[in-house]
Structure 1
Amino acid sequence: MFGFVICNRNNLKDSEYDRYRSAYCGLCMSLKKKYGNLARFALNYDMTFLATLLGSLYEGIDICKKEGYISETNKVCNSDSRDNAYQMSQIQQIRCILHPMKKKNILHNKYIDYAADMTILLMYYKCVDDIEDDGKVTAKVYKTLLKKAYKNIVDTYPRQTLCVKKSLEKFTELEKKGELTPDVATNLSGAMLSEIFVYKEDFFAENLRRFGYELGRFIYLIDATVDYEKDIKKASYNPLVYMNKKPNEMYEILEQAIGNATYYYEKLPIVEDENILNNILYNGVWQKYYMKINREVEKNGK
């Protein structure tokens, strides 16, 4: 399910892409500092999006409060504070093992640390799922290596952990019984992300929860679309089979799914990084789908 919530580099300014990459590198560094170098194998752009979203939402609000644009009880932030909204994040320049010759901008804030924790949580349960499906040795090894980090996350984030755990268990149970319908599978995928997108229970929690839920449903459907042939060959569950749909027939369903997600996204008073987030949600998430469809067109000569 990882790898779909990404930017379209061609439609971002250089400064915006640099900002986006600094969040990605910041997530990588946070994973290393909190959980060691091996945790960096779990790095993905999907959780970079989460870190950027939460930082854009909460840091902008905090800056507005600090500068007096809104009070503690007001719900809407005046965008006049944009020039100062990066003050609460720290940006450092460091060299990393992959780029030793040139220093990279590293963005750090508490939302990136939160995204690092959620990265480990999701990767741990991805290993659980891979072991259940294929008995992968690599998944077993990585799950063992993540065990200590996972236990810390369970203690710190019981709400998020319980939601992911229950959703995956239900998914596995229904799949074994042959009772996993496309709607149920899609909804369970949405449920897994719903609580992860809720950083804290506050005024924004419900819209974040609904956004995460709908985005999770979209990710599951587009992942199934892109992996259709691979799943057929492996005899893995794929909702398109039950829906009697081929990948090139999924556009309208996917469009509605991402539309449901952006409906709740647009209710959030995003102060910073709006162009980056919009680029991802309205453009970037479609890239792998279009690559697949274009390959099919070329293959069929149409």
Structure 2
Amino acid sequence: MFGYVVINKPELKFKEFDVYKSFYCGLCYSLRSRYGFVGQFTLSYDMTFLVMLLTSLYEPKVAHSEHKCIRHPLKAQPMSSSIYSDYVADMNILLSYYKAMDDWNDDRSVLKLAFAKLLKTKHPDDGFDYNKKAEVISSLLTELGTREKENETNIDVMAGLFGRIMSVLFVPKDDQWAASLSRIGFFLGKFIYILDAYDDLEEDIKKNHYNPFKSICNEQGFDDRIKGMLQMMMAECSKEFEYLPILENAEVLRNILYAGVWTVYYKNLKERRGEDVASDNTIKEDD
């Protein structure tokens, strides 16, 4: 998806990293099992966070196994999966499908249309309300696209729309934890949108693409203003997380919320300023 919601690897214990990686591989396996190889193309570390969050909160049965894959054809990889691995796989496909269709409607990209058709696969019914979620996601993505065409510069409006999309994905069922999960998804979604727009700013200016920060990027204190926005989003997100009665994998999840989400930001900020990037603390695909 985006690759912003990741771990800060040096701050994790080896065992914690192994657990995180096993859930990542478990999500990959769910995508492959349910949607084939095309499903694996949508795999992201962002959604691995959601798998671990829901699994740690609801404490369903977790299956531990080992499987080989295209990336690791010789050595079987440890995998951890639960019913929420399948749920998140389905949500990932829903979001990817409607995003591809939205791109097709905007740009008439044949590749996007072909990708969307490949993604349009029936998924097993696990008792989750997919139809309602699909309707909301489609509607919000359409509104987001419309606002972009209108060159909307209000970042709170734009980030809020994506935040609402993420809030839908973060709530698998209507229960006592739904409100907190929705708010975590909302503020994390706003963080992702703001950081993505900030990250893409220079390229969007060069290619004359839409970006809500174009009109203010040369103002004094712009970088500090963006950092303030991002800090506010993560403060709200983390506050909601701490309300949840999570014990299992809590330190891994905190690593992501308090440190991991900032690794890409600081790396890109140094690059924008022409500073040397000494190290990259984000996880690599081959780790």
TM-score interval w.r.t. the shorter chain?
Answer: 0.7 to 0.9
Query: What CA distance in whole angstroms lies between the structure 2 residues aligned with 1:49 and 1:192?
Result: 16
**Which structure has the larger Rg over C-alpha atoms?**
1
Secondary structure at the aligned position of 1:42 is classed as coil
- Structure 2 gaps of 5+ residues are 277-287
Q: Share of identical aligned residues, percent?
A: 40
Query: What CA distance in whole angstroms lies between the structure 2 residues aligned with 1:198 and 1:242?
Result: 35
Query: What CA distance in whole angstroms lies between the structure 2 residues aligned with 1:132 and 1:99?
Result: 37
The yes-or-no answer on 1:260 pairing with 2:233 is no
Shift of 1:136: 3.3
Shift of 1:7: 0.7
Deviation track 1:4-41 (CA, whole Å, cap 9, x = no partner) reads 11111111111111111110110111111111122111
Q: Which one of 64, 68, 93 corresponds to residue 66 of structure 2?
A: 93
Which amino acid letter does the alignment assign opposite residue 110 of structure 1? I
* TM-score calculated relative to the size of structure 2: 0.88
Structure 1 window deviating more from structure 2 (18-27 vs 131-140): it is: 131-140
Query: What CA distance in whole angstroms lies between the structure 1 residues aligned with 2:118 and 2:244?
Result: 37
Task: Say if 1:152 and 1:174 are closer, same or farther in 2 by CA, change over 3 A.
Answer: farther
Shift of 1:237: 2.1
- Equivalent pair of 2:102/2:142 in contact (CA under 8 Å): no
Name the residue aligned to 2:115.
142
Query: What CA distance in whole angstroms lies between the structure 2 residues aligned with 1:297 and 1:174?
Result: 30
Name the residue aligned to 1:30.
30
The yes-or-no answer on 1:170 pairing with 2:143 is yes
Name the residue aligned to 1:85.
none
Name the residue aligned to 1:208.
181
Shift of 1:278: 0.6
Shift of 1:150: 7.6
Name the residue aligned to 1:277.
253
Q: Give the structure with the higher percent helix.
A: 1
Backbone CA RMSD of aligned residues: 2.2
Name the residue aligned to 1:297.
273
Secondary structure at the aligned position of 2:247 is classed as coil
Deviation track 1:162-184 (CA, whole Å, cap 9, x = no partner) reads 22111111112223334463221
Query: What CA distance in whole angstroms lies between the structure 1 residues aligned with 2:77 and 2:130?
Result: 31
Task: Say if 1:133 and 1:9 are closer, same or farther in 2 by CA, change over 3 A.
Answer: farther
- Equivalent pair of 1:23/1:51 in contact (CA under 8 Å): yes
Name the residue aligned to 2:282.
none
Secondary structure at the aligned position of 2:213 is classed as helix
Query: What CA distance in whole angstroms lies between the structure 2 residues aligned with 1:10 and 1:248?
Result: 26
